[in-house]
Amino acid sequence: MESYNSFHVAQKQVLEAAKLLHLDNATIELLSWPQREFKFTLPVRMDNGTVKVFHAYRIQYNYARGPAKGGIRFHPDETVDTIRALASWMTWKTAVVDLPLGGGKGGVVCDPKTMSQRELENLSRAYIRAVAEYIGIDKDVPAPDVYTNPQTMAWMMDEYETITHRHQPGVLTDKPMQVGGTRGRRDATARGGVITVREACKILHVDPSGCYAIQGFGNAGQRAALLHQELLGGGRLVAVSDSRGAIFNPHGFNPKELVTHKLTTGSVLGFPTASVISHESLLELEVEILYPAALENAISEINAEKIKAKIVCELANGPTTPEADLILYKKGIHVIPDILASAGGVTVSYFEMVQDSYSFFWDEDLVHQRLDQKLMKAYHSVREAIKEKNVHPRLAAMVVGVARIAEACKLRGWV
Ligand code: GLU
């Protein structure tokens, strides 16, 4: 998947922010490593009767500000270091939006595209049997991530409740609404990202009704396609991609039709009126706004110089390498970093935990309104840090997040 070690990237980002904050060595060491890591082997009975053994992880990166929080990813390329990196980013992400949560992430090395629903259910339940002891609304609260979804959460919550003999829906978030999920969670990551784009457009005088492109057409990418036009009152979606390919139409796609096509055929390829382009050229298109919404390290020093977007809104986790960050900054491209741009998902996950705790559920408008407030505030605190420290937006966001965690560690007497 990558030539970069994402965890080394994450550690470098922590160090840079820590230096700007003049943190002491013990705090830097503490924030550079996960507080707790679990590694499991999961034997799962497959449909053909054989048993397959999967390797799985749960990493609780930091819980100074609250229970660890973050998704579980099912992906063939997962390693302990990709999960460590993702867990680290969750930590700064929850802090940037000022949620009373820490950061964590889980993963299973598997290829869900080749597995049946029954095999995925068996795997999800096996994961929870292994991790049950270490999760809970006051310890660590997982959610979906790449190739996991509300159905996965429903199986996992059911297994957890079977083990504990108690009704505890808040152990996981982004559940279906019938079993303790919140309204407004499914489009929360994209909505949060589009809210930050709205703020950025105002400040930078970028026209939100210009062209936009989306790299990655999973949940976040699909929702961003729709919400961009809905929340910004316009915009022409000229290119989208998924793992199978990329398509382009200078006159713009109808986002609704494109989402329907993706959901019915499994790919964006084959959409009428589209020409096929390469994955690389999608990122290099002349657009107002580019949404990277796939995996890590899509923008590196290899292609950063060729990026022409005015605003890059990172809905994916870790799509830009540190070298690329500096290149984009020099080119005057405004990057809204992942730990801010993609924080809408975990923000509404937190709202779900709150609602599950008192078993009383909010209407959708209230979720949207509270999400908007949180993301606006976070966007402007990062904006302040950009001005104050005179650094690129990711470093500024890291400064905001790392400072909050460091303070909590200090108050607890850890350092
Ligand atoms: N997987 C999402 C993320 O990376 C959501 C995590 C959560 O809701 O806990 O932000």
Closest CA to ligand 1's atom 9: 70
Closest CA to ligand 1's atom 6: 70
Residue 142 has pLDDT above 60, yes or no: yes
pLDDT in tens, 170-214: 999 999 999 999 999 999 999 999 999 999 999 999 998 999 999
Distance (Å) from CA 286 to ligand 1 centroid: 30
pLDDT band of residue 3 (cuts 50, 70, 90) is: low
Structural domains in the chain, sorted by start: 34-179 (3.40.50.10860), 188-341 (3.40.50.720)
93, 105, 262, 310: the catalytic one is: 105
Residue 258 has pLDDT above 60, yes or no: yes
Closest atom, ligand 1, to C-alpha of 93? 10
Distance (Å) from CA 169 to ligand 1 centroid: 17
Q: Residue 48, CB half-sphere, CA atoms under 13 Å: how many?
A: 3
Mean pLDDT of 267-281: 95
Closest atom, ligand 1, to C-alpha of 173? 8
Contacts with 39 (C-beta within 8 Å, 6 or more apart), sequence order: 55, 56, 57, 80
pLDDT at position 124 is 98
- pLDDT above 90 as % of the chain: 96
Residue 331 is a catalytic residue? no
Residue 296 has pLDDT above 90, yes or no: no
Distance (Å) from CA 277 to ligand 1 centroid: 30
Closest atom, ligand 1, to C-alpha of 144? 1
Query: Of 90, 101, 296, which is best to mutate to test ligand 1, by the most ligand atoms within 8 angstroms of its C-beta?
Result: 90
Mean pLDDT of 162-177: 97
pLDDT at position 1 is 41
Residue 401 has pLDDT above 60, yes or no: yes
Binding pocket residue ranges, ligand 1, CB within 6 Å: 69-71, 143, 145, 173-174, 317, 342, 345-346, 349
Distance (Å) from CA 159 to ligand 1 centroid: 21
Residue 2 has pLDDT above 50, yes or no: no
Closest atom, ligand 1, to C-alpha of 141? 9
Residue 248 has pLDDT above 90, yes or no: yes
| Sole residue written with tokens 């990062």 | 382
Averaged confidence pLDDT in the chain: 96
pLDDT band of residue 239 (cuts 50, 70, 90) is: very high
Distance (Å) from CA 107 to ligand 1 centroid: 12
Distance (Å) from CA 71 to ligand 1 centroid: 5
Query: Of 63, 88, 149, 174, which is best to mutate to test ligand 1, by the most ligand atoms within 8 angstroms of its C-beta?
Result: 174
pLDDT at position 257 is 97
pLDDT band of residue 295 (cuts 50, 70, 90) is: confident
Query: Of 346, 348, 355, which is best to mutate to test ligand 1, by the most ligand atoms within 8 angstroms of its C-beta?
Result: 346
Closest atom, ligand 1, to C-alpha of 145? 1
